[in-house]
Every structure is written in C-alpha cells, then in structure tokens.
C-alpha cells in the first residue's frame, strides 16, 4: 500500500507556515513615513527634471496613493498635472488639475492648477487650428469653448494671480485665431455658392469674437453674400447662378492692423514660458491676527466656527485685496449673510468670501439659484463648513 501520509504532511506544514507569515502584516512605522514620502517625491522630481514624464508620473501616483496626508503628496499632485501636461496628455492634465481644485480649494497655489488646465486645453486648440487652417473647408476646434471658459474662470476667481495676465493674452490670441478660422469657413462657403452658410459664418465672426481684426472683412463679406442671396431670390429657382467672389464684385477690404503688435501674434514680452509647479514651502505659516469682525461689520472667523461642521456654505470669491472684498459686499448688500476668513497665500493674507449657512448640499444648491445675477456671475461653489473650520481652527460641537 502506498505511503501517502508523509507526502501530504509536508505540503500542509509548509502551507500553514506560509499562511502564518502572510497573516501577520507589519505595522507601519509613523517615524519612517515622512522619510519614505520624501524619497518617493525626490525620485519623481528627478525624473521630471530629466523630462522622463512617464517615470515622474508613476512616482507621483505612488506617493499620492501611499501617503495621501503627506505634504509631499500635495506637491506631487501639482507636479503630476504638470508631468501630464509636458507629456501632451491633455485629458489627464485637466482631470488631475480639477481633482486638485476639489481636494485643495484653499491651497496657496491652486490658481496654478486653474492656469495649467486652461493651458493644456489652449495648446490642443491652437494645434487643431494650425491643422485646419490648411484645409479647404476647415472645422472649428472642439475644445475652443472650454478653453475660453477655463481662462476666463482663472481671471474671475483669481484677478490678482501672477498667471492671469498671461491667460488674458492667450485668450485674446485664441479669439483672434478663431475669428480668422470662422472667416475662412465663410469664404469656403462662398466658393461653393452656399451664400446662406457664408452669411452665418461671417456674422459669427462679429458676434462671437467682437473687436477682432477680422471684423471689417466679416462685415464686408456679410453685405456681399446678402446681395448674392437677393439676386438668387429674383432668379428662376431652377437656374443655377454662380457668382464668383472676384469679378464684378470688388474684394472685401483688407483688415486693418491694430496699433502695436500684429493681430494674431502674442506679444513676446507678455508670454510666459510654461511655468513649473510652485516649489513646496515650509509647513510653518506666519500667524495671522484675526479680528472678530471686519471694520465694515462683516462676519469673520468666530461666526464660521459657530456653524455646524456638517453644514455647507457658498464660496463667492478669493482675493489679496481685502478692501475690494469689503466693497463687493457693500455694493451687493449681502452683509447680513456674508462672512470671510483669512489664510496665507505666497506669504500674504488671502481673503475668502462665503455666503450663508445651509444644512445640506441640496439646500445650498437651491440657494445658488436664488442669488442675484451679479452673485451667480461669480460662479459660487458649495463648500463644507467643516473644511473651512479645519483651515481656520475650531468648530462648533
């Protein structure tokens, strides 16, 4: 009879020993976590400096997953968005930037993520325009509307940001290029005798991109195609009349060049190189002396601490200019429900204005719809009061 017992005993013994090892996980050593997080961050930074964006992104993702509460993880989040941007991954850049905005809305460098999001969309849109300008009948770039929204939102939320001026220059340049592309589409429609479509494109130049250098030419084309349509309407519907752009009709006048820089070119002195993410700052911030109320009687941090930490409020704006914030509250008559708090941004006081206190997100969302148009224009977003209390210290029981 075969001897099976020893053969069975050995594997079972080994299995039990192995299982015993697996079921005893090592406890994390809190003292080693900061050093480990810094090591991973430095590996990612080295790869980023060497333009190895894939390796940098891999290290940053590892750091964010392993040590989400580390200050190095916050910096890695910014640099991850930058690595995606440098790698030409537009969708990942935008998604990573927007995640940072949601998770760190009061980070001193959050304006950089708003800027980088717009820059990624801008680069893809300009590349699309460069390709389509060579086509006989070009298409409009699909991200053009989002790009304009991204740069406009940066200017609205952070008027004092060091990135806002460059965003404005790029936004003006983009609108100039879009106007030129729309005008090219109008001319292509004229070439195929589709005067109704040509009129729509020419009018779009004037309505969607006012004050561009293409306005006068678009107006001349509009008048011309309306005359073409009038002639067609007076002819027999069965007759196909083709009227070329040149011939009896004089060509539209050339667009005048604006003073200064040539239209469609970004002034060299105004364009910044794509900035790298801001360097991490020391964890210690200078202490800020917080008054109970502002000189204008607007509620401050003590009122925010008294609110239920599970409640919600609407954030209206943030600025370095405290007087501008006070003037905004007075101008719109919202002193009774407004409050603001102060944090540090680039070593200077940063003032954030909020409005109201609501028990849940649904009530806060409904409150946005009831705000005056001037306040809705600020694109308020819902914030948890507990998150604000964590920033300023203290909360209601």
Q: Read off the pLDDT of residues 84-125 as tens digits, 9 standing for 90 and up.
A: 999 999 999 999 999 999 999 999 999 999 999 999 999 999
- 301-392: CATH number: 3.30.70.1070
pLDDT at position 254 over 60: no
pLDDT of residue 280: 55
**What average pLDDT does range 214-220 have in this prediction?**
90
Distance CA 206, CA 268 (A): 27
* pLDDT of res. 234: 62
Domain 147-270 and domain 301-392 have a common topology = no
**CB–CB of 248/283 below 8 Å?**
no
Closest CA to 199 of 228, 232, 233, 234: 228
Pick the more confident residue, 215 or 13: 215
> How is the chain split into domains, by residue range?
147-270, 301-392
- pLDDT of 246 reads 41
The lowest-confidence range among 81-90, 164-173, 272-281, 386-395 is 272-281
Q: Label residue 379 by pLDDT band (50, 70, 90).
A: confident
Given pLDDT bands bounded at 50, 70 and 90, which one contains residue 33? low
**Res. 219: pLDDT tops 70:** yes
Q: For the chain, what percent of residues have pLDDT higher than 70?
A: 74
Does position 164 have pLDDT exceeding 70, yes or no? yes
Buried b (16+ CB within 10 A) or exposed e, 117-126: bbbbbbbbbb
pLDDT at 7: 45
Question: Cα separation of 59 and 47, whole Å?
Answer: 9
Tens digits of residue pLDDT in 275-329: 667 765 443 333 333 344 555 578 988 889 899 888 999 988 878 778 878 888 8
- For residue 178, which of 139, 225, 134 has the smallest C-alpha distance? 139
CB 152 within 8 A of CB 133: no
Choose from 16-20, 166-170, 269-273, 364-368 the range with maximum mean pLDDT: 166-170
Which of 74-88, 172-186, 245-259 comes out lowest in average pLDDT?
245-259
Residue 241's pLDDT band (boundaries 50, 70, 90)? very low
Residue corresponding to tokens 């990612």: 44
Q: What is the SS3 assignment for 206-264? A: HHHCCCCCCHHHHHHHHHHHHHHHHHHHHCCCCCCCCCCCCCCCCCCCCCCCCCCCCCC
* Range scoring the smallest mean pLDDT among 129-133, 233-237, 246-250, 298-302: 246-250
- What does the block give as tokens for 245? 């752009």
**Are the CB atoms for 243 and 232 separated by under 8 Å?**
no
Say which CATH superfamily domain 147-270 falls into.
Answer: Tetratricopeptide repeat domain (1.25.40.10)
């Amino acid at each position: 009879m075969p001897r099976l017992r020893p053969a069975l005993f050995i594997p079972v013994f080994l299995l039990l020993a192995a299982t015993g090892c697996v079921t005893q996980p090592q406890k994390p050593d809190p003292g080693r976590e900061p050093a480990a997080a810094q090591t991973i961050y430095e590996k990612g930074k080295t790869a980023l400096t060497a333009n190895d964006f894939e390796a940098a992104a891999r290290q940053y993702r590892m750091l964010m997953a392993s040590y989400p509460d580390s200050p190095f993880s916050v910096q890695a989040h910014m640099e991850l968005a930058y690595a995606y941007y440098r790698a030409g991954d537009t969708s990942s850049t935008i998604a990573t930037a927007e995640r940072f905005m949601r998770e760190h809305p009061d980070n001193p460098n959050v304006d950089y993520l708003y800027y980088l999001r717009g820059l990624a969309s801008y680069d893809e849109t300009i590349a699309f325009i460069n390709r389509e300008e060579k086509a006989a009948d070009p298409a409009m770039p699909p991200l053009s509307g989002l790009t304009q929204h991204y740069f406009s939102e940066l200017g609205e939320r952070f008027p004092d940001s060091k990135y806002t001026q460059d965003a404005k220059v790029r936004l003006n340049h983009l609108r100039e290029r879009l106007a030129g592309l729309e005008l090219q589409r109008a001319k292509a429609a004229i070439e195929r005798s589709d005067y109704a479509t040509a009129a729509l494109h020419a009018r779009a130049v004037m309505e969607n991109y006012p004050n561009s250098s293409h306005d006068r030419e678009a107006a001349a084309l509009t008048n011309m195609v309306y005359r073409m349509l009038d002639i067609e309407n007076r002819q027999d519907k069965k007759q196909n009349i083709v009227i070329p752009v040149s011939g009896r009709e004089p060509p539209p006048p050339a667009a005048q060049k604006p003073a200064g820089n040539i239209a469609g070119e970004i002034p060299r002195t105004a364009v910044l190189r794509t900035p790298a993410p801001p360097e991490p700052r020391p964890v210690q911030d200078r202490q800020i002396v917080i008054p109970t109320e502002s000189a204008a009687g607007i509620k401050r941090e003590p009122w925010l601490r008294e609110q239920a930490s599970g409640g919600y409020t609407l954030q209206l704006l943030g600025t370095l200019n405290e007087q501008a914030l006070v003037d905004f509250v007075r101008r719109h008559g919202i002193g009774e429900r407004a409050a603001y708090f102060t944090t540090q941004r680039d070593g200077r006081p940063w003032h954030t204005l909020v409005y109201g206190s609501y028990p849940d997100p649904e009530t806060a969302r409904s409150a946005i719809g009831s705000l005056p148009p001037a306040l809705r224009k600020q694109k308020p977003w819902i914030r948890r009061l507990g998150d604000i209390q964590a920033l300023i210290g203290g909360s209601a029981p």
